[in-house]
Structure 1
Amino acid sequence: MSDPVLLHICQGCDGGQLAELRAAIDRAFTKGRVQIVEQQCMNGCAKPVSFGLQSPGRATCFFAGVDPQSDIADIVATLHAYLKAPRGWIEDARPCGRLRFCLVGRVPAL
């Protein structure tokens, strides 16, 4: 299996209501492919909630203004796009739905 994708998500702003998101990710991906890592704060407080995607050899992407409950389908779609994109660099973000407007930045892979 490839390296897992880490979905770092801020729990400080919304109290960490992630049960539905975890269940959706578990249904959409093989076990261990995507791991949710709750962070106390990711300094995206001006536009809560923020999350980042990381995986070895892939770009790091940072999103803000995401609702981890109502944006579940778009989060799963973004994870699929991230895994499909060479080195995690999503060129066409339309499949990400609303989240394409929530992308704050991305850092190329090392």
Structure 2
Amino acid sequence: MDHRITVCTSCRDKGTKSRLGYGLIEKLRQGIAEAGDRIPELFEISGVACMAGCDRPCTVAFHGPKKATYLFGDIDPETDIADLVAFARQYAYLHDGWCSSVDRPGKLRKSTLARVPAVIVDSETEKAHSS
């Protein structure tokens, strides 16, 4: 299972003390399971204590081998699961994880906090610098 979805478990609903992440994880796991074979890769879905997106709760990250990582904010566990599941399907097919904002499903077009390129080290360059 090389693909991961990480959900912040510290994010609080704006104006309340309710933590959104735990419920989002369960709903996302259910949504991915219901998608079945429509998502060709398995995704590990887990929580992490903080992703530093406190001003835009709840934050969710998508990671894959040799792929760009995405961080999304303002995710609502009640209304955004379908968009997250659709992006998981899309992300699984993307060779390098790269897609433009207009290609992302629904709310994810406007709620991207970061896209971090995959780190690919050219072995020849690395050899030249280590000599």
Would you say same fold, with TM above 0.5? yes
Q: Is the 8 A contact 2:9 2:48 kept in 1?
A: yes
Normalising by the residue count of structure 2, what TM-score does the alignment of the two structures yield? 0.73
Among 5, 8, 11, which residue is 1:10 paired with?
8
Partner residue, 1:102? 111
Deviation, structure 1 residue 94: 3.7
Matches within 5 A, 1:14-93: 14=20, 16-17=22-23, 18-29=25-36, 33-91=42-100, 93=102
RMSD, matched Cα: 2.0
Work out the percentage of aligned pairs sharing the same amino acid.
32
Compare the two structures and name the one with the higher helix fraction: 2
Deviation, structure 1 residue 77: 0.8
The count of corresponding residues between Structure 1 and Structure 2 is 108
Q: Is the 8 A contact 1:10 1:49 kept in 2?
A: yes
Q: Is the 8 A contact 1:85 1:91 kept in 2?
A: no
Q: Is the 8 A contact 2:41 2:92 kept in 1?
A: no
Normalising by the residue count of structure 1, what TM-score does the alignment of the two structures yield? 0.85
1:61 match: secondary structure: strand
Flag the structure with larger Rg. 2
Q: List gaps (5 residues or longer) in structure 1.
A: none
Do the aligned partners of residues 55 and 27 (structure 1) sit closer, same or farther apart at CA in structure 2, a change above 3 Å counting? same
Q: Is the 8 A contact 2:59 2:75 kept in 1?
A: yes
Q: List gaps (5 residues or longer) in structure 2.
A: 12-19, 120-131
CA distance in 2, matches of 1:92, 1:99: 8
Deviation, structure 1 residue 19: 2.0
CA distance in 1, matches of 2:63, 2:104: 19
